[in-house]
Structure 1
Amino acid sequence: MALAPVAPQLMPADLPPSGCADRWPWLQQLRSQPELDAEPWLAALEAGVLGTDQDLLAILAERLDPPAQLRLLRWWRLQAKPDPAVPAQVLRHLDGASAAWLLEQGAAGPAALAAELPPAVAAALLPLLGHQRQRQAWPVLQAWLQAPIAAHLRRAALEGVARGLSVWPRAQLRVVLSALAADLDTQLAATAVDLLARLPGARRALVPLGLRQLDPQLAERLGRRLAAIPARPLLLVVHGRMGGELPAELVALAAELERRRGAPVRLQALSALAPPAPQELLLGDLGDQQLTLVPLLLLPGGHVRHDLPAIARHWAGFARVQRIPFLGAWPRWQAALAVELAGLGPRDSQGSAVPLLLHHPLEGPLAGRYLATLERRTGCRCLATPYSAEHLAELQLTLSAPALPLVLAANRLTDQLADQVGPPLLQRPLLHQLLLSELEALP
């Protein structure tokens, strides 16, 4: 049986010149060759026999292995006037050696611009650095993004961020992109908004941008991105007052949230006899929706440890439930408490009284650890305060240090000690605005 004839290797010297009618069919024949020895083609490029024509590179790049790819990039970098289109055509593999070379090129940052790293070279390589998806490239791209350099270089760095979006440290990425969303370069800002919208939990990053003075077109873009990420129904679990009565400030909070989020927001009081009806909160087919459950509880007491799991199980029969940690555990809430406490100011003559945080009595090691952490983070002294009339009357007579009631809405403590401790936390502007913003940004 006769063997099929082996097609002769096409060589660089046989390539028809640009503009010749035979060139395209010849290149198609080169592409269809089952095997291609890249060595003569690389050597011809390095010797200047061939130019970096896009039609030729488009075919050669498909056949280059990672070492050949890196060899061609190194040669390109040494040219007096490197063609900025070459790297994007050549660099197709995610390869450790190529990634290390790219990192080396950009590691010096914008300080290396000019002779050491021409701007055209930097603009060509920064997107490819991100394309390699190496986590160690993040500080390099970040430095280029935040430097006071030409807009096209910062855009190239942001393109690199976009190409490797999934591998960068999420918290740092949100901070950098949120800052860029207010950039004077509207193209850069618009891209930053688009990238924030691609991140998991995008509402948390996008909603705060609406509080800024944005360019009108950018504000419209932000609105479109938020509209594409509809908010879930929100169930706020609160203490409530006796008989399930809901304090006015909590009712107002839920109404404002519903207006801002464009989705149902309901309150479930622990003191109520029954939860809200599912039809009041969930729309459409029950069981096929997502529900965000937020405990607006300030301490890890029995309600958090026992009642909340039961509430979550109840609602799991109607929807897919995402539970958020109880409010008192949120770092931003604790930081805001510290600011509010610092604003109370000392009341004794020496100016040295430590402010008090009056809380409902707790038991167990978990409560002790939590209260110790809260004291450390807020600079206060936690004081257990039973709500019995006798105890409150005694406290009213002995309270000397500035004090803050650790209660979200009006209750017996704030009713009786209003002159000493002031309003509940939700009636204080700083804490009210923080809670509203945090809840608005939830999925």
Structure 2
Amino acid sequence: MAAPSPLERLLVPAALPPPGSPERWPWLQRLRRQDNPDCGVWIEALERGQLEPAVDLLAVLAGRLDGAGSDRLLAWWLATVGDPDLLPLIGRVRTPRSAALLRQAVNERTAPEQRLPLLPLLGHQRDPIDYPLLARLSLEAGPLPLRRAALEGLALGLSAWPLAALRRQLLRLAGDLQPQLASQAVDLLARLPRGRWALFPLTRRPLDPLVGQRLRRRWAALPPSPLLLIVHGRAGGVIPGELQNLASELERLRGRPVRIQALTAQAPPSPASFGTPAGSADLQPWLTLVPLFLLPGSHVRIDVPAIATAWRAHGPVRRLPFLGAWPSWQRALAAELAAMVQVQDGSADSGPGAPLLLHHPLEDGPGARYLVHLQSVTQARCLPTPYTAADLQEIKLAIHPGALPLALAANRLTESLPEQLGMPLVERPRFRQLLVRELEALP
């Protein structure tokens, strides 16, 4: 191995030119390019006070440190309560030790001015355990700089935090009396997965004028894709009027085409009817498929995937879960049944007197497991009901406690028993409002 050159031997702390020297910058560049520098001697010199912790030196060292070296440098800074401007250079590397050091320092230092430089770096470490602290400091009353520092920490670690809790916190913060915080909360909501959906609740709230402007800009930058609603349809491909009305309202609200494809139709809608050339780069995905089926039968398991495959020949496609799998839909079913029981002055239970969910018969397997889950969520009894039953007297007797048909739009069952079953689900305010709200907010 070749002996070190005289120049390399001089790349030691004692040989560093002082600040202001014209030789300092070229010297530091040589240090930056040096192969496998011994960063430990530089950290030791800082720890002993033999070197001035200047920004230019730390910028070079920070780029060469491994995790252990970064931890050591951070521990030195925290022990000396160094210059806050140096901290972003020192804490670049994410390690469990650095996260623990920062967490301990934040908890021990209660003065806002001492916490300010630590909070963004704590968020940069992206340890989910730190989310509650950063969220609390951003929300609770306190000095504005401290709250902004906590929110910056959340922004730096955005992908690491629990999504549902983060979304709730940012929605709350978007209504804050401090427009700077509220505007940044809007920006962060737009960066979340399904950003348009995350922002949607704010479109229904009164906001500070400046925050409202920010919301409109972010909303406009997240244009929704066209929707394709997949339904069963009636004989000959007829689409019930209530579903056509739903599609028209969604198209008006979203400002993008909304079409319906019925399984009973001879042909699907034309790709040209969506108004976006196939493969266009301005919308990703090009199309969102929404299967409006309430049960995981063969249509969901076989027909819908085949339809999605066919549409992918025209561009990127996002396929949503079938409607009956949405937790919000299941909660709406439970609420509707509970309201029915209350009107009848009864109490919900899972016994013989429980309200009924009338459904098309399903095969064993996924369908049977789904019905068990649905009964647990709704506290109702699921009753298979062939829609082609010739004698409806038995069904009339069975639904004496009250029943809800698992029929989104009118079908032979709802038309045969209008007095006992009432309106199909899409015509009931609770379910229509849910569909409009959820589908309007889709990306």
Q: Same fold (TM over 0.5)?
A: yes
- Give the Å deviation of 1:234: 1.0
Contact 2:288–2:317 (CA under 8 A) maintained in structure 1:
yes
Corresponding residue of 1:227:
220
AA partner of residue 371 (structure 2): L
**Are residues 1:190 and 2:186 paired?**
no
Aligned length: 430
AA partner of residue 84 (structure 2): P
Corresponding residue of 1:151:
144
Structure-2 separation of matches of 1:164 and 1:337: 37
Secondary structure, counterpart of 2:259 in structure 1: strand
Contact 1:27–1:59 (CA under 8 A) maintained in structure 2:
no
Structure-2 separation of matches of 1:410 and 1:219: 41
Corresponding residue of 1:20:
none
Contact 2:16–2:27 (CA under 8 A) maintained in structure 1:
no
AA partner of residue 311 (structure 1): I
AA partner of residue 154 (structure 2): V
AA partner of residue 168 (structure 2): V
1:375-390 maps to which residues of 2 (within 5 A)?
A: 375-388=375-388, 390=390
Secondary structure, counterpart of 1:25 in structure 2: coil
Secondary structure, counterpart of 1:138 in structure 2: helix
**Are residues 1:31 and 2:28 paired?**
yes
Alpha-carbon displacement from aligned partner over 1:144-163 (angstroms, at most 9, x marks no partner): 33444333222212211221
Q: Residues 257 and 10 of structure 1: is their aligned pair in 2 closer, same or farther, counting only changes over 3 Å?
A: same
- Give the Å deviation of 1:190: 1.6
AA partner of residue 267 (structure 2): A
**Are residues 1:318 and 2:330 paired?**
no
**Are residues 1:372 and 2:372 paired?**
yes
Secondary structure, counterpart of 1:342 in structure 2: helix
AA partner of residue 359 (structure 1): H
Structure-2 separation of matches of 1:122 and 1:324: 44
Corresponding residue of 1:93:
93
1:262-341 maps to which residues of 2 (within 5 A)?
A: 262-281=255-274, 283-285=276-278, 290-341=286-337
Corresponding residue of 1:73:
74
Contact 1:358–1:384 (CA under 8 A) maintained in structure 2:
yes
Structure-1 separation of matches of 2:420 and 2:249: 30
Contact 2:13–2:45 (CA under 8 A) maintained in structure 1:
no
Q: Quick one: which of 247, 259, 269 aligns to 1:254?
A: 247
Structure-2 separation of matches of 1:151 and 1:335: 39
Corresponding residue of 1:417:
417
Secondary structure, counterpart of 1:345 in structure 2: helix
Structure-2 separation of matches of 1:415 and 1:13: 93
AA partner of residue 421 (structure 2): V
Instruction: Give me the TM-score of the superposition, normalised by structure 2.
Output: 0.85
Structure-1 separation of matches of 2:3 and 2:400: 106
- Give the Å deviation of 1:185: 2.4
Greater mean deviation of Cα atoms: 211-220 or 252-261: 211-220
Corresponding residue of 2:7:
6
Q: Residues 26 and 359 of structure 1: is their aligned pair in 2 closer, same or farther, counting only changes over 3 Å?
A: same
Corresponding residue of 1:360:
360
Contact 2:16–2:24 (CA under 8 A) maintained in structure 1:
no
Alpha-carbon displacement from aligned partner over 1:120-176 (angstroms, at most 9, x marks no partner): 221111111122233443344334334443332222122112212233333333333
Alpha-carbon displacement from aligned partner over 1:158-201 (angstroms, at most 9, x marks no partner): 21122122333333333333332223322222212212222332
Structure-2 separation of matches of 1:26 and 1:47: 24
Alpha-carbon displacement from aligned partner over 1:62-99 (angstroms, at most 9, x marks no partner): 566655544443344344x7533231233233344323
Structure-1 separation of matches of 2:4 and 2:55: 36
Secondary structure, counterpart of 1:204 in structure 2: helix
Alpha-carbon displacement from aligned partner over 1:266-298 (angstroms, at most 9, x marks no partner): 011222222112211252136876221111011
- Give the Å deviation of 1:323: 1.6
1:47-86 maps to which residues of 2 (within 5 A)?
A: 54=55, 57-58=58-59, 61-62=62-63, 66-79=67-80, 82-86=82-86
Structure-2 separation of matches of 1:362 and 1:317: 31
Contact 1:247–1:410 (CA under 8 A) maintained in structure 2:
yes
Alignment identity in percent?
50
Instruction: Give me the TM-score of the superposition, normalised by structure 1.
Output: 0.85
Structure-1 separation of matches of 2:346 and 2:38: 87
Q: Residues 405 and 45 of structure 1: is their aligned pair in 2 closer, same or farther, counting only changes over 3 Å?
A: same
Q: Residues 120 and 73 of structure 1: is their aligned pair in 2 closer, same or farther, counting only changes over 3 Å?
A: farther
Q: What is the CA RMSD across the aligned residues, in angstroms?
A: 3.2
Contact 2:334–2:379 (CA under 8 A) maintained in structure 1:
yes
Secondary structure, counterpart of 1:213 in structure 2: coil
Greater mean deviation of Cα atoms: 243-252 or 352-361: 352-361
Structure-2 separation of matches of 1:77 and 1:286: 54
- Give the Å deviation of 1:329: 0.9
1:151-170 maps to which residues of 2 (within 5 A)?
A: 151-170=144-163
Secondary structure, counterpart of 2:391 in structure 1: helix
AA partner of residue 329 (structure 2): W
